[in-house]
Structure 1
Amino acid sequence: MISAKLYIQGEWRESESDRRGERYNPAHLEELVGTYEVATIQETEEAVLSASKALKRWKMKAGPERGEYLFKAAQLLEHNGKELACLITSEVGKPFGEAMGEVKRGVALLRYYAGEGMRALGEVYPASDGPSLLYSNRVPLGVVGIITPWNFPVAIPLWKIAPALIYGNTVIWKPAEHSSLTAYRLMQLLEQAGFPPGVIQFVTGIGSEVGHTVINHPSINGISFTGSNHVGKQIAKAAVERGVKYQLEMGGKNPTIVAADAHLEQAAEMTVSAAMRFSGQKCTATSRVIVERAVLEPFTKLLVDKVKGIKVSDPMQADCFLGPVVHPSAQADILSAIQQGVNEGARIRAGGSLSSELSEGCYVNPTVLDHVKPDSDLARKEIFGPVLAIIPADDFQHAIAIANDSQYGLSAAIFTSDIDRMLSFLKHIEAGLIKVNGETAGVEPHAPFGGMKQSSSHSREQGRAAIEFYTSVQTIVISPAGKSLEEAEA
């Protein structure tokens, strides 16, 4: 059993609060995976101040030197990948194969940002007076508060922490309570990479205490958050009041359009994958499939048959496609959302219930509903579970209108073999991540990621785009000393 600790001022410690959280395996609820410390407000404040002190030396290190720490962390993560993937599966229920994929993505992220330490940070411009040197430079924000979710407990922290560090910031990291043990093990690997004391602080605990302290502390210069819209809006208000940078990635109600000319087998296969893998607990998972009426009946049959063929199984099994959801409360919320859909007139075509064979865990059978109205809660509210709503569209333009009729705009996909439909979709769809003949879920680690509308603060994470958030731009002019313009030109 894991006993996770706090990491403050370069030391592992137990909290003075005498409170500990518990994490149970969502596949086997009687199995206690481990416990984690619940930090106090005072300990969180101490962590922030420690990060402030460490900033002075860390930001003075050259980019290549900072990169060496990230390269070392990548090696350690790769070497310990299987162990960490097992912990992800035990703590949040992600199928082991997907957990291994996430760890590999974490390795790639660390290596990518390690290489960023060798890249230019600014640009040189022509000065109008000739002799002067005019250029821009990027400098770190300072201390960055990073608050991460449980569904990608390795990849999302690393695509925030790695760029923050390579660009010279120090970090205080508060993970979601549901993934505190995985976060602790990842933090152990980062510590083994040799980062100087204070550069990364790690505090677990209650969001209303630890998270609130991080968000509102005067020494925090930037906040990067992935999670719910409710919390994201609170962070935005607090950041605006203090005049600090913030970066939010929040909810999604991601549509897939199946056009009349689509390859239906491909569309059904990839829509099921996007909707059901990791039990739909991805912010980019497909939750609405909008189908032109011309192909509604054959596509629905294909989709329902594929979903009925999904085997719900223990996430540690090598061939697991769909395991449990993260927690009993999530299980209850998903079932409630399905029932609400039925109350609104939707029809269950597959699933809609708990797994009868795996009653010891938080399992929900993969669910498909049709006769879904575009303005119903089922079509508008994020469910975060293995639930897919089929919505008919009269024609292609109607399908785009339904897809855009949402407060969210994270990801969207279309299946079509018609170039005109594809181009029209690309022009009119309101989403930050767009796929043609592909899943709504998934993006390359070196490409920018983020949403539109209420899904994001309109900033972008990952890839080179991360430099925009984690640095500030300085414009610098150097002119000749002690000379007039004429003398300098001579």
Structure 2
Amino acid sequence: MPPASGIYVDGEWVESSTGETTGVEDPATGETVGEIHVASASDAERAIEAAVGAQAEWAATPGPERGAILRRTGELLAERKDGVAETLTREEGKTLAEASGEVQRAVDIFHYYGEKAREIGGTVKAASSSEKRLRTEKEPLGTVSLITPWNYPIAIPAWKLAPALATGNTAVLKPATVAPGPSRAIVECLAEAGLPAGVANYVTGSGSELGPVLTEHEDVDGVSFTGSTVVGTGVYQSAAADMKRVQCEMGGKNPTVVAPSADFEAAVEAVGAGAFGVTGQACTACSRAVVHEDVYDEFVSAVADYAESLTVGSGLDDVDMGPHVTADELESTLEYVDIARDEGATLVTGGGRPSDDDAAAGHFVEPTVFADVESDMRIAREEVFGPVLAVIEVSDLDEAIAVANDVEFGLSASIFTQDLSETHAFTDRVEAGVAKVNEKTTGLELHVPFGGYKGSSTNTYREQGDAAIDFFTSTKTVYLNY
């Protein structure tokens, strides 16, 4: 096992002040694959102080120079892609193919914002006088706290860190403790690329210990969080108490509507991939298939066949689906299976742990499909965060959209149809921040805004693309008379 990973403060890897470490477990085997230092509140304060101290010089660094460091970071990350992907699989559990794709996503994000740093500026507007010039400028917020989850342990840190640094902010990143290795690789690459000391800092440890400092500290100017709705709501309320800028992306209960005119095989493939890809541990995972009665029975049979065709095992092997990240996540999914049965839903396939001996040590669960689900059942309303699909029968598009909207979340939603009128009705009326047509609910383009409605987001600022630039900057209007 490698030595314990320290925290990164003011350009140095150091031990935490507590001297405590905690293990990182491979969810497929139960083996301890690493250790991290458990930072204290005082460590988080030191990291913020370092970021504040570095902020003025970093903000004054020309955008192209900042961008060059980000591009070099992407290049270094690409060189380490295979090793980082393996670390991601060993810590988080997703398949090696999924992990490799996620690392590539992080590479692409750093390349994208490396180029965006060249064009961060403002606008020129017509003034009311011939001897006046009127323009806007974008300025960095200052120092920002970035709190990221375990389910995309390199992509999400990348899409927060890269725009924050591109716009001249300094940052303190706190990743989830169960899968910290991939985000550590980002920080290592940033340092090797020439990022000045203090600009990016990295602390690992308990959210209950570090969270209040990162969200409430008077020198923190902005907070970006991704995680559960319960925790995100607390983060928002805590950070907004002194008028900090806050952005929280949270849970989902994402539907795919299947109309009678749909390309049936494509719909089955997309729902299956959206429900069971990354073990269903994605905020955009498809957890509800809302299917027209004309194709309902056929769809239930086909998507169950899809689920049964998937191989489950260690992500390092040639499998289709890896384990849950922790025993608690596995137990939560199994509890929802019991809840669905008790409520009267029909278990079509899955619902338990794989029976083979190789799976005994890991947090494995079978891809699961429930039919005869009513929209008021908990299995249709609450975020399971596992490979469990609820199939709901509807009689027309109006009912399908009503069912799709009848939850507290509104992150991603899709429809499969060949009817243009249905396409427009769905995208106009569905209550989701991401609306897709003939495409799975998961998967995002990195240059367009991402975020949700209702309980899926604080509905303040979006992430990714130009929206991230907007979040991490303040606008100054300049009146120049001469």
Q: TM-score when scaled to structure 1?
A: 0.96
Q: CA deviation at 1:464?
A: 1.3
1:376 corresponds in structure 2 to 377
Q: CA deviation at 1:184?
A: 2.1
For the residues of structure 2 that align with 1:216 and 1:425, how far apart are their CA atoms?
A: 40
AA at the equivalent of 1:448: P
For the residues of structure 2 that align with 1:328 and 1:254, how far apart are their CA atoms?
A: 24
Q: CA deviation at 1:329?
A: 0.8
- Residue 186 of structure 2 is aligned to residue 186 of structure 1: yes
For the residues of structure 2 that align with 1:263 and 1:66, how far apart are their CA atoms?
A: 46
Q: CA deviation at 1:191?
A: 1.6
Deviations 1:21-77 (CA, angstroms, capped at 9, x unpaired): 111100001x11111011111111011011000001000000001001101101100
Partner SS state of residue 246, structure 2 = strand
Deviations 1:394-414 (CA, angstroms, capped at 9, x unpaired): 211101100000110000010
2:462 corresponds in structure 1 to 460
Deviations 1:288-318 (CA, angstroms, capped at 9, x unpaired): 001111111111111111111111122112x
Mapped contact 1:73–1:193 kept (Cα < 8 A): yes
1:281 corresponds in structure 2 to 281
Deviations 1:231-271 (CA, angstroms, capped at 9, x unpaired): 11111112221111000100000000011111211111111
For the residues of structure 1 that align with 2:187 and 2:94, how far apart are their CA atoms?
A: 20
Mapped contact 2:353–2:365 kept (Cα < 8 A): yes
Partner SS state of residue 450, structure 2 = coil
Where in structure 2 are the equivalents of 1:239-388 lying within 5 Å? Answer: 239-317=239-317, 319-357=318-356, 358-388=359-389
Partner SS state of residue 314, structure 1 = coil
AA at the equivalent of 2:173: W
2:74 corresponds in structure 1 to 74
1:56 corresponds in structure 2 to 56
Q: CA deviation at 1:467?
A: 1.3
Mapped contact 1:25–1:32 kept (Cα < 8 A): yes
For the residues of structure 2 that align with 1:190 and 1:341, how far apart are their CA atoms?
A: 46
Q: CA deviation at 1:120?
A: 4.3
Mapped contact 2:73–2:186 kept (Cα < 8 A): no
AA at the equivalent of 2:466: R
2:201 corresponds in structure 1 to 201
2:450 corresponds in structure 1 to 449
Structure 2: runs of 5+ lacking an equivalent: none
Mapped contact 2:288–2:380 kept (Cα < 8 A): yes
Deviations 1:351-410 (CA, angstroms, capped at 9, x unpaired): 000111111110000000011110111001101001000011121110110000011000
For the residues of structure 2 that align with 1:474 and 1:206, how far apart are their CA atoms?
A: 37
The worse-fitting range, judged by mean Cα deviation, of 70-79 and 176-185 is 176-185
For the residues of structure 2 that align with 1:120 and 1:332, how far apart are their CA atoms?
A: 46
1:402 corresponds in structure 2 to 403
AA at the equivalent of 1:478: L
- Residue 387 of structure 2 is aligned to residue 412 of structure 1: no
Q: CA deviation at 1:117?
A: 1.5
Q: CA deviation at 1:201?
A: 0.6
1:154 corresponds in structure 2 to 154
The worse-fitting range, judged by mean Cα deviation, of 185-194 and 54-63 is 185-194
Mapped contact 2:271–2:286 kept (Cα < 8 A): yes
Deviations 1:58-106 (CA, angstroms, capped at 9, x unpaired): 0000000100110110110000000000000000101000110011111
For the residues of structure 2 that align with 1:62 and 1:186, how far apart are their CA atoms?
A: 22
Structure 1: runs of 5+ lacking an equivalent: 481-490
Mapped contact 2:22–2:35 kept (Cα < 8 A): yes
AA at the equivalent of 1:364: V
For the residues of structure 2 that align with 1:182 and 1:160, how far apart are their CA atoms?
A: 14
Q: TM-score when scaled to structure 2?
A: 0.98
Mapped contact 1:27–1:323 kept (Cα < 8 A): yes
Q: CA deviation at 1:148?
A: 0.4
For the residues of structure 1 that align with 2:139 and 2:185, how far apart are their CA atoms?
A: 30
State, as a whole percentage, how many aligned pairs show the same letter: 41
Deviations 1:419-448 (CA, angstroms, capped at 9, x unpaired): 111111111111111111110001111121
Q: CA deviation at 1:465?
A: 1.4
1:487 corresponds in structure 2 to none
AA at the equivalent of 1:355: P
For the residues of structure 2 that align with 1:120 and 1:145, how far apart are their CA atoms?
A: 21
Mapped contact 1:254–1:440 kept (Cα < 8 A): yes
Cα RMSD (Å) = 0.9
Mapped contact 1:95–1:316 kept (Cα < 8 A): yes
For the residues of structure 2 that align with 1:470 and 1:160, how far apart are their CA atoms?
A: 9
Mapped contact 1:35–1:181 kept (Cα < 8 A): no
AA at the equivalent of 1:325: H
The worse-fitting range, judged by mean Cα deviation, of 50-59 and 460-469 is 460-469
The structure with more radius of gyration: 1
AA at the equivalent of 1:67: G
Mapped contact 1:5–1:184 kept (Cα < 8 A): no
Mapped contact 2:28–2:362 kept (Cα < 8 A): yes
The number of aligned residues is 478
AA at the equivalent of 1:164: A
